[in-house]
Amino acid sequence: MSPKKKTKKHRSLFSRVTIIFILIAAGCFALYVAYLDKVILRKFDGKRWTLPAVVYARPLELYAGLSLSPNQLIKELKLAGYRNEKQKLTPGGYSQTAETVHLVTRDFYFPEGLQRSMNISVTFSGNKIKNISRTDSGENVSIARLDPARIGSFHPKQHHEDRIVLTYAELPEQLIKTLLAVEDQNFYSHRGLSPKSIARALWANIRAGKTVQGGSTLTQQLVKNFFLSNQRTLRRKFNEAIMTLLLEAHYSKQEILTAYANEIFLGQDGARAVHGFGLASQFYFKRDLKDLSASQTALLVGMIKGPSYFDPRRHPKRAQSRRQLVLSIMRDRSIIDDNTLQQALASSLKESTMTTSGFNRFPAFLDLVRRQLRNDYREEDLTNDGMRILTTLDPHVQWQVEEHLGESLKNLRQSTGNKDLEGAVIVSSRESAEILAVAGGSRPLQASFNRALDASRQVGSLIKPALYLSALENKYTLATAVDDRSITLTNQGEKNWKPQNFDRKEHGRVALYQALAQSYNLATVRVGLDVGVKKIIQTVNKLGIDRAFPPYPSFLLGASSMSPIEVSQMYQTMATGGFYIPQRAINCVFASDNTLLNRFGLSVEQRFTPESMYLLNTALQHVVSEGTGKTLSRFIPASFKIAGKTGTSNDLRDSWFAGFSHDKLAVVWLGRDKNKPSGLTGASGALVAWAKIMRSLSLKPLQLTEPPGILWSYVNPVTLEKSNRFHPQSIKLPFLQGTSPNPINSEPRPPYNQLKKPIKSFLEKLRSLFN
Partner 1 sequence: MNHSTYNSHLPLLQHFFFLFAIISLGLQGCTVYKDTHYPQTERNNQGAIDHLYKEAGQAIDRGKFNQAEILIERALRIEPDNAHLWHSMGIIKFNQQNYAQSVQFGLKSNSLAAGDHSLTPKNWKLIEKAYEKLGQFDKAREVHEKY
Q: Show which residues are catalytic.
A: 183, 461
Give the DSSP H/E element, type plus range, for residue 588: strand 586-590
Q: How far is the CB of 766 from partner 1 (least distance, A)?
A: 5
- Asked if 57 and 169 count as a contact pair (C-beta separation under 8 A), the reply is no
Binding mask 403-432 for partner 1 (x = CB under 8 A): --------------------------xxxx
Beta carbon nearer to partner 1, 614 or 714 = 614
- Residues between 652 and 671 that touch partner 1 (CB under 8 A): 662-663
Beta carbon nearer to partner 1, 162 or 434 = 434
Distance between CA atoms of 690 and 698, rounded to whole angstroms?
A: 14
92 counts as binding partner 1 under rule CB under 8 A: no
- Residues between 452 and 481 that touch partner 1 (CB under 8 A): none
Beta carbon nearer to partner 1, 144 or 623 = 144
116 counts as binding partner 1 under rule CB under 8 A: no
188 counts as binding partner 1 under rule CB under 8 A: no
Q: How far is the CB of 65 from partner 1 (least distance, A)?
A: 3
Letter for the amino acid at 618?
A: T
Distance between CA atoms of 334 and 110, rounded to whole angstroms?
A: 42
Q: How far is the CB of 718 from partner 1 (least distance, A)?
A: 32
Beta carbon nearer to partner 1, 72 or 480 = 72
Q: Which of 175, 404, 194, 197 is nearest to 290 (CA)?
A: 175
705 counts as binding partner 1 under rule CB under 8 A: yes
Distance between CA atoms of 121 and 133, rounded to whole angstroms?
A: 5
- Distance of CA 56 to CAs 146, 358, 375, Å? 12, 10, 19
Distance between CA atoms of 422 and 439, rounded to whole angstroms?
A: 11
Q: How far is the CB of 569 from partner 1 (least distance, A)?
A: 17
Q: Which of 81, 99, 101 is nearest to 91 (CA)?
A: 81
- Asked if 663 and 700 count as a contact pair (C-beta separation under 8 A), the reply is yes
708 counts as binding partner 1 under rule CB under 8 A: yes
749 counts as binding partner 1 under rule CB under 8 A: yes
- Residues between 565 and 624 that touch partner 1 (CB under 8 A): 577-579, 599, 601-606, 610
Q: How far is the CB of 63 from partner 1 (least distance, A)?
A: 3
Q: Helix (H, G, I), strand (E, B), or coil: what is residue 529?
A: helix
548 counts as binding partner 1 under rule CB under 8 A: no
Handedness of CA 169, 172, 174, 176 (dihedral sign): negative
Q: What's the CA angle centered on 134, arms 131 and 135, to 5 degrees?
A: 105
Beta carbon nearer to partner 1, 520 or 614 = 614
230 counts as binding partner 1 under rule CB under 8 A: no
Interacting span for partner 1 (CB under 8 A) from 56-64, 77-85, 294-302, 487-495? 56-64
629 counts as binding partner 1 under rule CB under 8 A: no
In SS3 terms, 600-656 reads as CCCCCEECCCHHHHHHHHHHHHHHHHCCCCHHHHHCCCHHHCCEEEEEECHHHCEEE
Distance between CA atoms of 193 and 191, rounded to whole angstroms?
A: 6
Distance between CA atoms of 144 and 125, rounded to whole angstroms?
A: 17
114 counts as binding partner 1 under rule CB under 8 A: no
Distance between CA atoms of 533 and 548, rounded to whole angstroms?
A: 12
65 counts as binding partner 1 under rule CB under 8 A: yes
99 counts as binding partner 1 under rule CB under 8 A: no
769 counts as binding partner 1 under rule CB under 8 A: yes
Q: Would you give the DSSP letter of residue 704?
A: P
What number of residues does the chain have? 771
Q: Would you give the DSSP letter of residue 117?
A: P
Q: Which residues bind partner 1 (CB under 8 A)?
A: 61, 63-66, 110-112, 128, 140, 142-143, 145, 429-432, 434, 577-579, 599, 601-606, 610, 662-663, 703, 705-708, 749, 751-753, 755, 763, 766-767, 769-771
